[in-house]
């Protein structure tokens, strides 16, 4: 396969896991070392050249992005009715046609295939507006563009691109991404669907998939396993005999998203529908998800902006106890939290897309971070916004019930957040382990092999230009906020090394510590991104005119630094063992746990099998 990762040539033998992928590519002499801001932090390095100056969208593209966003809002005003979409359980063919005509379904597709040719940043800026308008719109467009036809765009042959992309970019066809199966969820490596190569080069596909958006539409990129060749990625079309969608799922939210069960009975898939080479399927799926996660994160940012708008409007109008809700401190606390978090998250998201646009090959950790932080921020922001709306929010004619129903799946799909946390931490630890004698071969990533593809950080110390752990490219007035980063980055390296030496391979199961390392690295990246963003603004507009924004940036940065400090402390001072024991007690005793009064519980409550 030619282009699994930029700068990498094909791994001839199909690797069996992400860990082996890393090893096999790592041994190649022509393999470029991949810089990564987040992975570098685990090594105690701060690659500020990746984060500064803060990336900007060039003015020409910005103009185009704004034009596309304007057309999106015209479509919303004329055609988009979320309530009707829920009732008819489909976004509507007329909406799809309008989005397609406006270029909104082919945002990053090169112009030669009829797309808009936007950068990752441009694409994510528009995705943000999808999320701001409606969760269902964000998901349907995301399924189509972010994951559905992404594999064709990233890894397809020229012939495949010519055959499929023009119709997909124009919205004449819709795409789906079929990975999940009844027994295969987070551990996506373990596919049961089988594809066996036939003598004529075609593939015979058997198995089933569940929860596939657009699964009964026009083009489905399906992942399967071949006994002989490993994982494969195949393009399916509905005209193929034996390819069926026997039913649609009835979902709590995103009710306009057509979610399907798919079955394959001896489906013959022609050889020209194989993406990449036999054996590349898993890497393709992971690359697509690494990339696609970004727009879920920026879509979540858009949704939070809408929640803030809804909240601010309400708390200014509504009076209780003789004053506006807006004037109560505990109301302000919630709004301020949303605003400050949003600032840092937005800075991180568009730093990451900017790095991708600049050709930084490895942003797998950063994109996982944005997915985790964005989707959870959205959920907690929705909770606060709901609270401030009071009982009105609970009424079905308010926007809140639908928002809550729609967004609850975000932390679960496209990589469940806890799996991604483990992926972030273990990928960072792997980089440290690779450097330490005797710890480079621990197969650290096997528990999260479906978290994402692993790229080698560096091949050797000799090749690496070691970066000092300081952020110096910041506006002089922001330096006091940049200084603590040196200590944080140093401690991250120190603690990572210590945990690796202490637990060795067992660090794979130390998820409490993994969660802390993930949180620390996320908050460090957040601080760097925020300071970089603010520096760019101050350099452009001067320190005086940017005081309000700076105040928010400073608040985000200092709060993130405080969280980092707390998480470091908890690495050594925690009650993890108690947590584990309580979980096991609960497993044994069941939900009823302990009776408040003797003899009060149901007869079968609590087996009392000891603690």
Residues carrying an active site annotation: 414
The answer to whether residue 282 forms part of the interface with ligand FAD (CB under 6 A) is no
Kindly list the distances between the CA atom of residue 566 and the CA atoms of 310, 468, 570, in Å, as whole numbers in the listed order. 33, 24, 6
Of 52 and 283, CB closest to ligand FAD: 283
Q: How many residues interact with ligand FAD (rule CB under 6 A)?
A: 22
The answer to whether residue 180 forms part of the interface with ligand FAD (CB under 6 A) is yes
CA distance 291 to 374: 15
Of 254 and 444, CB closest to ligand FAD: 254
Closest approach of Cβ 129 to ligand FAD, in Å?
Answer: 21
CA distance 254 to 567: 35
CA distance 122 to 349: 12
Which of 419, 471, 474 has the alpha carbon at shortest distance from 448? 419
Of 412 and 585, CB closest to ligand FAD: 412
The total of other beta-carbon atoms located within 10 Å of residue 206's CB is 16
The answer to whether residue 185 forms part of the interface with ligand FAD (CB under 6 A) is yes
**Three-state secondary structure call for residue 410:** coil
The answer to whether residue 212 forms part of the interface with ligand FAD (CB under 6 A) is yes
The answer to whether residue 24 forms part of the interface with ligand FAD (CB under 6 A) is no
Of 45 and 181, CB closest to ligand FAD: 181
Of 142 and 279, CB closest to ligand FAD: 142
The answer to whether residue 270 forms part of the interface with ligand FAD (CB under 6 A) is no
DSSP strand pairing (203-213 vs 259-269):
antiparallel
CA distance 257 to 140: 6
Stretch that binds ligand FAD, among 9-17, 64-72, 174-182, 311-319 (CB under 6 A): 174-182
Stretch that binds ligand FAD, among 205-213, 397-405, 502-510, 593-601 (CB under 6 A): 205-213
DSSP designation for 247: E
Stretch that binds ligand FAD, among 1-9, 171-179, 196-204, 436-444 (CB under 6 A): 171-179
How is residue 489 written in tokens? Answer: 């980055």
Confirm if 507 and 457 have CB atoms less than 8 A apart.
no
Stretch that binds ligand FAD, among 79-87, 167-175, 407-415, 468-476 (CB under 6 A): 407-415
The answer to whether residue 37 forms part of the interface with ligand FAD (CB under 6 A) is no
The answer to whether residue 446 forms part of the interface with ligand FAD (CB under 6 A) is no
The only residue of 413, 457, 556, 568 in contact with ligand FAD, by rule CB under 6 A = 413
**Three-state secondary structure call for residue 319:** strand
Closest approach of Cβ 227 to ligand FAD, in Å?
Answer: 22
**Three-state secondary structure call for residue 86:** helix
Of 4 and 372, CB closest to ligand FAD: 372
β-bridge mates for residue 205, sequence order: 195, 267
Q: Which residue is nearest to ligand FAD (CB)?
A: 185
The only residue of 18, 259, 365, 393 in contact with ligand FAD, by rule CB under 6 A = 259
CA 364 to chain centre: 9
Which of 446, 347, 331, 343 has the alpha carbon at shortest distance from 389? 331
Closest approach of Cβ 67 to ligand FAD, in Å?
Answer: 29
β-bridge mates for residue 262, sequence order: 209
Closest approach of Cβ 384 to ligand FAD, in Å?
Answer: 23
Q: Any alpha helices (H) in 18-119, and if so which ranges?
A: 18-26, 37-42, 48-51, 59-79, 82-88, 93-101
Kindly list the distances between the CA atom of residue 145 and the CA atoms of 120, 378, 551, in Å, as whole numbers in the listed order. 12, 22, 37
The only residue of 308, 412, 543, 605 in contact with ligand FAD, by rule CB under 6 A = 412
Q: Number of helices and strands (H, E) in the chain? A: 20, 10
Interacting residues of 191 by C-beta distance below 8 A, sequence separation 6+: 179, 181, 184, 207, 223, 224, 225, 231
Of 196 and 418, CB closest to ligand FAD: 418
Interacting residues of 422 by C-beta distance below 8 A, sequence separation 6+: 447, 448, 451, 511, 514, 515, 518
CA distance 373 to 30: 35
The only residue of 1, 118, 152, 179 in contact with ligand FAD, by rule CB under 6 A = 179
CA 380 to chain centre: 17
DSSP sequence for 508-540: GG-HHHHHHHHHHHHHHHHHHHHHHHHHHHHHH
The answer to whether residue 416 forms part of the interface with ligand FAD (CB under 6 A) is yes
Kindly list the distances between the CA atom of residue 412 and the CA atoms of 293, 303, 373, 526, 580, in Å, as whole numbers in the listed order. 12, 17, 13, 22, 23
Of 99 and 262, CB closest to ligand FAD: 262
Interacting residues of 243 by C-beta distance below 8 A, sequence separation 6+: 205, 236, 262, 263, 264, 267
Of 518 and 525, CB closest to ligand FAD: 518
Which of 142, 419, 148 has the alpha carbon at shortest distance from 303? 142
Closest approach of Cβ 253 to ligand FAD, in Å?
Answer: 8
The only residue of 376, 418, 549, 576 in contact with ligand FAD, by rule CB under 6 A = 418
Closest approach of Cβ 474 to ligand FAD, in Å?
Answer: 36
Stretch that binds ligand FAD, among 70-78, 158-166, 198-206, 410-418 (CB under 6 A): 410-418
The only residue of 409, 424, 492, 560 in contact with ligand FAD, by rule CB under 6 A = 409
The answer to whether residue 447 forms part of the interface with ligand FAD (CB under 6 A) is yes
The answer to whether residue 143 forms part of the interface with ligand FAD (CB under 6 A) is yes
Closest approach of Cβ 529 to ligand FAD, in Å?
Answer: 27
The answer to whether residue 32 forms part of the interface with ligand FAD (CB under 6 A) is no
Closest approach of Cβ 407 to ligand FAD, in Å?
Answer: 11
The answer to whether residue 254 forms part of the interface with ligand FAD (CB under 6 A) is yes
Of 419 and 467, CB closest to ligand FAD: 419
The only residue of 102, 151, 165, 178 in contact with ligand FAD, by rule CB under 6 A = 178
The answer to whether residue 196 forms part of the interface with ligand FAD (CB under 6 A) is no
H/E segment holding residue 548: helix 547-572
β-bridge mates for residue 319, sequence order: 324
Of 119 and 283, CB closest to ligand FAD: 283
The only residue of 113, 123, 149, 211 in contact with ligand FAD, by rule CB under 6 A = 211
Closest approach of Cβ 410 to ligand FAD, in Å?
Answer: 9
Of 109 and 288, CB closest to ligand FAD: 288
The answer to whether residue 251 forms part of the interface with ligand FAD (CB under 6 A) is yes
Which of 436, 599, 515, 361 has the alpha carbon at shortest distance from 44? 436
CA distance 491 to 496: 8
Residues that bind ligand FAD in the complex, under the rule CB under 6 A:
143, 176-180, 185-186, 211-213, 251, 254, 259, 409, 412-413, 416, 418-419, 422, 447
């Amino acid at each position: 396969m030619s282009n699994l990762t930029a700068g990498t040539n094909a791994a001839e033998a199909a690797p069996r896991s992400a860990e082996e992928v890393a090893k096999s590519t790592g041994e190649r002499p022509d393999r470029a070392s991949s810089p990564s801001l987040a992975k570098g932090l685990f090594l105690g390095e701060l690659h500020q050249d990746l984060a500064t100056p803060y990336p900007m969208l060039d003015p020409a593209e910005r103009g185009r992005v704004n034009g596309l966003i304007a057309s999106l809002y015209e479509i919303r005003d004329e055609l988009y009715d979320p309530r009707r979409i829920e009732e008819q359980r489909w976004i509507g063919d007329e909406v799809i046609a309008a989005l397609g005509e406006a270029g909104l379904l082919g945002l990053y597709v090169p112009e030669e295939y009829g797309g808009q040719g936007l950068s990752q940043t441009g694409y994510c800026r528009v995705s943000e507006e999808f999320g701001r308008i409606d969760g269902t719109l964000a998901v349907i467009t995301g399924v189509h563009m972010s994951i559905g036809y992404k594999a064709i765009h990233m890894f397809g042959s020229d012939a495949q691109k010519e055959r499929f992309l023009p119709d997909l970019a124009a919205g004449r066809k819709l795409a789906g991404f079929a990975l999940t199966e009844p027994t295969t969820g987070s551990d996506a490596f373990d596919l049961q669907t089988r594809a066996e190569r036939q003598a004529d080069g075609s593939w015979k596909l058997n198995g089933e998939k569940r929860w596939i958006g657009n699964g009964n539409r026009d083009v489905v990129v399906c992942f399967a396993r071949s006994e002989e060749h490993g994982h494969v990625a195949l393009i399916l079309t509905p005209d193929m005999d034996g390819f069926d969608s026997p039913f649609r799922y009835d979902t709590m939210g995103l009710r306009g998203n057509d979610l399907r069960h798919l079955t394959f009975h001896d489906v013959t898939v022609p050889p020209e529908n194989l993406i990449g080479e036999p054996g590349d399927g898993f890497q393709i799926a992971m690359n697509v998800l690494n990339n696609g996660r970004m727009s879920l994160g920026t879509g979540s940012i858009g949704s939070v902006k809408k929640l803030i708008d809804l909240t601010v409007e309400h708390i200014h109008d509504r009076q209780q106890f003789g004053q506006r809700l807006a004037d109560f401190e505990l109301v302000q606390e919630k709004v301020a939290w949303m605003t400050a978090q949003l600032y840092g998250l937005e800075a991180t998201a568009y730093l990451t897309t900017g790095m991708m646009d600049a050709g930084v090959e490895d942003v797998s950790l950063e994109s996982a971070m944005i997915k985790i932080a964005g989707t959870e921020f959205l959920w907690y922001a929705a909770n606060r916004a709901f609270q401030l709306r009071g009982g009105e929010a609970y009424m079905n004619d308010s926007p809140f019930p639908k928002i809550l129903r729609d967004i609850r799946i975000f932390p679960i799909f496209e990589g469940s957040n806890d799996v991604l946390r483990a992926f972030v931490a273990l990928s960072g630890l792997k980089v440290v382990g690779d450097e330490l004698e005797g710890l480079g071969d621990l197969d650290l990533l096997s528990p999260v092999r479906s978290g994402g593809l692993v790229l080698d950080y560096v091949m050797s110390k000799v090749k690496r230009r070691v970066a000092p752990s300081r952020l110096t490219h910041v506006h002089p007035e922001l330096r006091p906020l940049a200084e603590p980063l040196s200590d944080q980055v140093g401690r991250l390296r120190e603690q990572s090394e210590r945990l690796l030496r202490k637990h060795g391979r067992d660090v794979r199961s130390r998820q409490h510590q993994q969660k802390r390392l993930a949180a620390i690295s996320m908050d460090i990246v957040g601080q760097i991104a925020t300071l970089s963003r603010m520096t760019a603004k101050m350099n452009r507009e001067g320190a005086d005119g940017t005081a309000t924004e700076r105040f928010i940036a400073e608040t985000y940065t200092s709060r993130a630094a405080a969280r980092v400090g707390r998480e470091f402390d908890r690495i050594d001072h925690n009650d993890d063992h108690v947590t584990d024991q309580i979980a096991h007690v609960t497993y044994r005793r069941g939900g009823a746990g302990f009776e408040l009064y003797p003899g009060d519980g149901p007869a079968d409550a609590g087996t009392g099998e000891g603690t």
